[in-house]
Chain A
Amino acid sequence: MHRRGGVGLAAFDRQEQSNRSFAELSSALSRSQVEHLHSQLNQFRTALARFASTHRDSIRSDPNFRHAFQQMCSSIGVDPLAGPRKGGWWAEMLGMGDWQYELGVQIVDVCVSTRERNGGLIEMSELVRLVSKLRGVTGGGITEEDVVRSIKTLEPLGAGYQVVEIGSRKMVRSVVKELDEDQSVVLAIAQSEGGRIVEDILIHRTGWTRERARAALENMVHRDGLCWLDDQDEQYGRAYWVPSAMQWDL
């Protein structure tokens, strides 16, 4: 009887040898796969680098192009705008890390410099407008999406920047402060009234009791600094103004 594997020590040796050959083959195979991958990655890098150098300026200056680019990136699972730490060389390559940080700094600048007059709450469109003004003509346009993204990159700083929805509008809050429900209602109404709000209108629009309306308004003036008082209102004598619902030409 002649079995291929044989028996005894000789067979054992032979099996050892074939195991070794298989192992060699296998490592040769994976080596070539790794090499292949490397070369693919290099190609990918080169292509990206070419893409980056060709489109870098468009990405930085054209909001529409940037939007399309971000969608493309998210569909392949990379985030080029995550900043140098997360984005690594990719962000470096595009200069997007710097771009994003620069935008972040500008957002902080606007939020901080308007904080005292608006109590740390600013309407998104107003923020975009003021940041755009700060960037000047050469800075390239920016959109809400850019701002939202930048605010996310600010998260690790723990500064408490947050996008909140009040009424139908997006607002950016730059102070860690909870808005209670009544305040949100007051802010939403103030927005629809051009920034001005009076007790009677608030009562009329919400059905609140006078006490509740007054408390909400007084809290916003005294406790939060979200409202300014106007005691020369022609109609009602006393009106409240919400600076964050007003547009300021600095």
Chain B
Amino acid sequence: MTNVMSLSTHTTASGFLLPSIHSAPPFFTQQPNPGTQAIAIEQWTRLILTYARHRRLFVLRVEDAETTGNDWDEILRNERINRKLLPPYLSHILSAMVAKDLAVYEPPRQTRSVLLYWRSPDEWAETLHSWATATGQLNTILTFYDITDPPIESELTGIPIPLLRKAISILGKTGRAQMIGVADGEGVRLFAGGR
């Protein structure tokens, strides 16, 4: 008789395909063996980033592992095997992601909340520039609000301001963006220009 524990993938209510490792009970425990822990962290990192991309989530907080009913329930817990990621482990995973530039502590100087880079700031910079070009908004002044809440939903809809600011400063380095003070806060002017 084969009595092999079968780990299978699972599609969540939001339509996300969980990898089979998510149904392995020990996946939710911090591993004492450094080699094993490295592979577990790698799996968690990939899972967090792909899920964030799937749901367009930008922020993950340690407290998301402390409460239920938040955006991260589908991956931080697995009711089918009665396991959940505990806050200290999530905190450890977040620090590993920050160390690999796959996330950044936001706001800075705390370690309870991160901004996730499921796209790198460089990629966001290009996304912003392509969007402005495609929608004919080069050389005009755009407020941050124009970008984060455009009348026609874009890839940039809902982008957090700190991330937007990083993207603009990257474009600024190649002369493709200029920060401008506007009446109700900050704005930006984007220019064509070689990459």
- A contact set with B: CB distance below 8 Å: 116-117, 123, 125-126, 191-196, 221-222, 225, 228-234, 239-241, 243, 245-250
Contact = CB atoms under 8 A, between A and B. Distances in A.
A95 B2 CA distance: 36
A234 B82 contact: yes
Contacts, number: 83
B3 A228 contact: no
Contacts of A243: 24
Interface string B32-50: 1101101110000000000
B82 A228 contact: no
Contacts of A195: 4-5
A232 B24 contact: no
Nearest to A123: B4
Nearest to B38: A116
A230 B36 contact: no
A216 to B, nearest CB: 15
A117 B19 CA distance: 14
B24 A246 contact: yes
A177 B24 CA distance: 26
Interface in B154-190: none
B4 A247 contact: yes
Majority SS of interface residues in chain A? mixed
Contact of A247 (B6, B21, B27, B38): B6
Given A228-B29, A241-B24, A250-B20, A117 B5 contact: no
B79 to A, nearest CB: 13
A232 B33 contact: no
A246 B25 contact: no
Contacts of B9: 249
A230 B33 contact: no
Contact of A232 (B5, B29, B36, B39): B29
Contact of B3 (A194, A221, A225): A194
A183 to B, nearest CB: 15
A63 B8 CA distance: 28
Contacts of B21: 117, 248
Contact of A229 (B5, B29, B84): B29
Given A230-B26, A232-B82, A248-B21, 17 more contacts: A116-B36, A116-B38, A191-B4, A195-B4, A221-B31, A221-B33, A225-B36, A228-B24, A229-B31, A230-B29, A231-B29, A232-B29, A241-B24, A241-B25, A246-B24, A247-B5, A249-B20
B51 interface: no
Contacts of A241: 5, 24-26
A35 B90 CA distance: 79
A245 B36 CA distance: 16
A207 to B, nearest CB: 22
A222 B26 contact: no
B192 interface: no
Nearest to B4: A247
Nearest to B20: A249
A192 to B, nearest CB: 6
A250 B31 CA distance: 21
Most chain B CB inside 10 Å of its own CB: which residue of A191, A232, A243, A250: A232
Contacts of B6: 246-247, 249
B35 A116 contact: yes
Contacts of B27: 228
Contacts of B8: 249
A241 B36 CA distance: 12
B83 interface: yes
A192 B3 contact: yes
Contacts of A249: 6-9, 20
Q: Which of A117, A123, A192, A240 is most buried by chain B, counting CB atoms within 10 A of its CB?
A: A117
A48 B92 CA distance: 63
Contacts of A194: 3-5
Nearest to B83: A232
A145 B28 CA distance: 37
16 contacts: A116-B36, A116-B39, A117-B21, A191-B3, A196-B25, A222-B33, A228-B27, A229-B26, A234-B82, A240-B26, A241-B5, A243-B24, A245-B4, A246-B4, A246-B7, A246-B24
